[in-house]
Copies of this chain bind each other. A is one copy, B any other.
């Protein structure tokens, strides 16, 4: 604590990202990265952008990247906002759409960054308890509120909420923004993007860090009708006119154009996930049905914290959250087939 910190900053608890083990050789299944690299087409385009032109500011409007997104999602250009990772975009949303006195709603079990944003920007919030199956109690999101924030599929559970249920939440909140964080949507969920033309209160947030193999590049998108996008632009242009560097803009644009490589990698990860779920269930794990690139699992005989440590001793890093209701679960990212086989062998060794 420092006397120089603002009162807000004295009171917050920042988010703690999953460990990045650096050069140490481990099987890294803790931050939901993609085990497959970005395509050569993406890398070549980026290398070409590493040029003398870096002396100039990048395009503050990210038009090339946004046009590629407009083509990919079949939306108008002014329905697209590009940011320095979806985390930054979500932070901007809190400033753009929520007011301190109006309580926003999100589930008690979800991406833990939401609570961090709310505390930084002093937005009051209520955490709606998920039911015993980790499903969303729909009616709890129908009452008066200052906005709604849902991850779909949810994190860290991987559970998917059907689009028809999201539509009901949108119908009940015509005057408030409903943000659907679809960071993991490409791994088998159904996106809410097709609802955008019908719902001016819907904002969908995507990231390039998971399905697009570009966690190192920091790109996210927000998709919604133009007045929501303009609200985000007002916040961005009051913080940093140029949030995306010139090289990242080109990499993101190529990723959206090179759909074949992207779809092939997603398919492989889904296959590996289903195979891993089957193997873990054979080891008596309870595994929640996942539509993400991770699984959420618990074992009836051994506490998750012990499993976490035992895996770590075998140089396999997964994620463990010491939080109410989920402190007996492990969140395990889906790696390559070889990595997941090593995980299953290690767990078999531990649980026997």
- B-chain residues with CB within 8 Å of residue A84 when the two chains form the complex: 84, 240, 243
Is the pair B97, A4 in contact by a Cβ cutoff of 8 Å? yes
Is the pair B85, A242 in contact by a Cβ cutoff of 8 Å? yes
Interface string of A24-48 (1 = CB under 8 A from B): 0000100101111110000100110
Interface residues on A, range: 35 or more
Is the pair B9, A235 in contact by a Cβ cutoff of 8 Å? yes
Nearest B residue to A237 via CB reads: B14
Interface assignment of A245: CB less than 8 Å from any CB of chain B: yes
Partner of A47, one of B15, B47, B237, B243: B47
Interface assignment of A337: CB less than 8 Å from any CB of chain B: no
The 5 residue pairs across chains A and B that have the minimum distance between CB atoms: A14-B237, A37-B52, A54-B216, A2-B227, A216-B246
Is the pair A43, B51 in contact by a Cβ cutoff of 8 Å? yes
- B-chain residues with CB within 8 Å of residue A133 when the two chains form the complex: none
Known contacts A201-B4, A240-B84; decide if A234 and B12 are in contact (CB<8 Å): yes
Is the pair A55, B216 in contact by a Cβ cutoff of 8 Å? yes
Interface assignment of A58: CB less than 8 Å from any CB of chain B: yes
Is the pair B50, A9 in contact by a Cβ cutoff of 8 Å? no
- B-chain residues with CB within 8 Å of residue A152 when the two chains form the complex: none
Within 8 A of B (CB), among A229-267: 230-231, 233-248, 251
Min distance, Cβ A146 to any Cβ of chain B, angstroms: 9
Looking at A87-95, A282-290, A302-310, A314-322, the stretch in contact with chain B turns out to be A87-95
Known contacts A54-B38, A96-B5; decide if A217 and B246 are in contact (CB<8 Å): yes
Is the pair A238, B12 in contact by a Cβ cutoff of 8 Å? yes
A-B contact list, 10 entries, CB within 8 Å: A4-B177, A37-B52, A38-B54, A46-B247, A54-B213, A55-B214, A87-B241, A117-B238, A216-B246, A245-B247
Interface assignment of A116: CB less than 8 Å from any CB of chain B: yes
Partner of A6, one of B51, B99, B200: B99
Known contacts A9-B96, A15-B238; decide if A247 and B87 are in contact (CB<8 Å): no
Greatest chain B CB density within 10 A among A6, A60, A215, A227 is at: A6
Min distance, Cβ A198 to any Cβ of chain B, angstroms: 15
Interface assignment of A143: CB less than 8 Å from any CB of chain B: no
Partner of A55, one of B5, B35, B120: B35
Known contacts A14-B233, A97-B4, A248-B245; decide if A215 and B56 are in contact (CB<8 Å): yes
Interface string of A78-116 (1 = CB under 8 A from B): 000000110110010001111100000000000000001
Is the pair B60, A6 in contact by a Cβ cutoff of 8 Å? no
Is the pair B57, A20 in contact by a Cβ cutoff of 8 Å? yes
Interface assignment of A154: CB less than 8 Å from any CB of chain B: no
- B-chain residues with CB within 8 Å of residue A55 when the two chains form the complex: 33-38, 213-216
Partner of A237, one of B16, B59, B227: B16
Min distance, Cβ A294 to any Cβ of chain B, angstroms: 14
Greatest chain B CB density within 10 A among A31, A50, A117, A233 is at: A50
- B-chain residues with CB within 8 Å of residue A238 when the two chains form the complex: 12, 14-15, 91, 116-117, 119-120
